Chain A
Amino acid sequence: MAELTPAAADAAPGQEWRPPSYWPFVVPALVVVLAVIVFPWAFTIWMSLNEWKVGTPTTFVGFANYLRMPNDPRFVEAVGHTLLYTGLSVLLPLILGTFAAVVFHAKFPGRGFLRGVFIMPMMATPVAIALVWTMMFHPQLGVLNYLLSLVGLPPQLWVFHPGTVIPSLVLVETWQWTPLVMLIVLGGLAAIPTEPYESAQIDGASVWQVFRYITLPLITPFLFIAGMIRMIDAVKSFDIIFAITQGGPGSASETINLYLYSVAFIYYDLGYGSAIAVIFFLLIVAMAALMLHLRQRMMWTEIGSGA
């Protein structure tokens, strides 16, 4: 390949060279994407306008499926659960992940291996993880209540009580996805120049001051990206909740995704299920847009106060 380079230098200047079409490279993937992503989307939107239960004839009902949602207490409740679950599952991994990133940014022997161990929770098969957490949550035989007893705390019912089920599931979600936040923030830390730290050291700033006034502002864009990705994943969380509680006890941990599953594949109410899928998607897009908007406003106030 080394011989090719001089030839390019000779031929390139002066010659009018039209870039070739790259369409043939994209067409196979385009076909696949149309078949498995675009077609399902179009079909879902069309189905959401129909009354369609498996085994009964289809009738066009316009927006009736959409109008059903606000009057469906189970759906409204599911929205509440989803927002609570998502809020906690964004916040906790962001805080813990930032801490972990600061730790992994330091140099110590075995860092690469330990980082590999640290990201294992997010790569492991969620159902397998959920199974073991279920055993750990067990009120009589579970190891978590034993650990609580060691520090003198009373035993909990964890996922078996409506009041504690969502925080318990968030605990699993946080354990699983803190590593992702860590990786993103670690990437941000690697990009920070060393000069501010050197001057801070000369000025005798404390560890906390250095973090608060130098590190934190500089990694904010990365925290924002991590928060965005975390939000999208937490809203859609399914495997963990389904495998541990199936939305229970009762419907105390039923999120929109779980309810969507029940409507579509237990009650086989495909029209209503499709409408929920559309609204669910729009909700995620709206939350992402809201976060972008907040970020923009934050940036403007930062610039404003900085000037």
Chain B
Amino acid sequence: MSLRQILGKIGLWFAVFVVVSPAILFFLWMASLSVKFEVDNAAYPPVFIPERFAWTNYADVLASNRFLTYFVNSLIVTGTATGLAMLVGVPAGYGIARMAAHKSAIVILIARITPGLSYLIPLFLLFQWLGLLGTLVPQIIIHLVVTVPIVIWIMIGYFETTPLELEEAALIDGATRWQVFRHVALPIARPGLAVAFILAVIFSWNNFVFGIVLAGRETRTLPVAVYNMISFDQLSWGPLAAAALIVTFPVLLLTVLAQRQIVAGLTAGAVKGG
């Protein structure tokens, strides 16, 4: 190896370090905040690894029974909104791709551009009129604004690339359109299903703006619960950081485990609804 190559290697690793460190340092600092007692969090100069670990921060957050309620709320809202979106969005993506109805994608595009708050005003009034406020139903329905466009958009992309020959053959052999979809198109598009599902789950889980308007005390999802911890209940940093980490941990885990699918979906342009 020549000197020039060695220098190149060192330069590359230095660049990698510079690029990745803001993300790594931030999450390490977040973890550090969450395992420190108040004394250490208020220390100057800051303490990175404390002498005594405050695991009680986590225990406190998890033990409060409200937190469990909010966790279950988040599971229900994200689970139902994603499930419904897959149910209607996957066939729709298939139909749009096969009809080559590219103009219909404009609706998806408009949904992508529209600020989430614009949906909230009319739907808030509608839910109030229907007497649904105070239940989880409004949040499930409004999360569809996030999940349905993501699923449709990604599935259009996948079904457009799957080969038509097999489907035509099956149709000629007498299969119904539904059978073709179910037994020929869907199995081939399985990677696409995974991408759509993962992204819909993440963006629904992270959603905050719909919750602050529509959630009552009993119907908060985790992001809203954490926000309310800042403003009302909790002032010490340790438990706050612990709660923040618990909320976002499932997503971070999913990001690292499924990074190939996520990268595939995000580069397809379907980022962030609402």
Question: Is A125 a contact of B121 with CB atoms below 8 Å?
Answer: no
The interface residues of chain A lying within 8 Å CB-to-CB of B192 are none
Decide if B200 is an interface residue (CB 8 Å cutoff).
Answer: no
Decide if B12 is an interface residue (CB 8 Å cutoff).
Answer: yes
Question: Is A128 a contact of B248 with CB atoms below 8 Å?
Answer: yes
Name the one of B168, B178, B184 contacting A1, with C-beta atoms under 8 angstroms.
B184
Docked Cα-Cα span, A4 to B87, in Å, equals 28
With contacts A120-B255, A131-B240 taken as known, whether A238 is within 8 angstroms of B209 at the C-beta atoms is yes
How many Å from the CB of B6 to the closest CB on chain A? Answer: 14
Decide if A44 is an interface residue (CB 8 Å cutoff).
Answer: yes
How many Å from the CB of B113 to the closest CB on chain A? Answer: 5
Dominant SS among interface residues on chain B:
helix
Flag A8-47 by CB within 8 Å of B: 1 or 0 each: 1001100101011111111011111101111111011001
- For chain A, residues 83 to 128, give those with C-beta under 8 angstroms from any C-beta of chain B: 99-100, 103-104, 106, 108, 112-121, 123-128
The interface residues of chain B lying within 8 Å CB-to-CB of A180 are 266, 271
Flag B122-152 by CB within 8 Å of A: 1 or 0 each: 1111100000000000000110110011001
Question: Is A33 a contact of B20 with CB atoms below 8 Å?
Answer: no
Decide if B251 is an interface residue (CB 8 Å cutoff).
Answer: yes
Question: Is A232 a contact of B112 with CB atoms below 8 Å?
Answer: yes
The interface residues of chain A lying within 8 Å CB-to-CB of B148 are 29, 32-33, 36
Name the one of B118, B165, B205, B256 contacting A8, with C-beta atoms under 8 angstroms.
B165
Dominant SS among interface residues on chain A:
helix
Decide if B3 is an interface residue (CB 8 Å cutoff).
Answer: no
Question: Is B19 a contact of A99 with CB atoms below 8 Å?
Answer: yes
Extra contacts, 17 of them, besides A7-B169, A112-B260, A117-B20 (Cβ < 8 A), are: A1-B184, A5-B165, A24-B177, A37-B145, A41-B114, A44-B122, A47-B121, A99-B15, A108-B16, A114-B16, A118-B23, A119-B259, A125-B205, A125-B226, A126-B223, A175-B23, A238-B115
Residues of chain B having any CB pair with chain A under 8 Å: 12-13, 15-16, 19-20, 22-24, 26-27, 29-30, 33, 41-42, 44-46, 84, 87-89, 91-92, 94-96, 98-99, 101, 104, 107, 110-126, 141-142, 144-145, 148-149, 152, 165-166, 168-173, 177-178, 181, 184, 202, 205-206, 208-209, 212-213, 222-224, 226-227, 230, 237, 240-241, 244-245, 247-248, 251-252, 254-256, 259-260, 262-263, 266-267, 269, 271-272
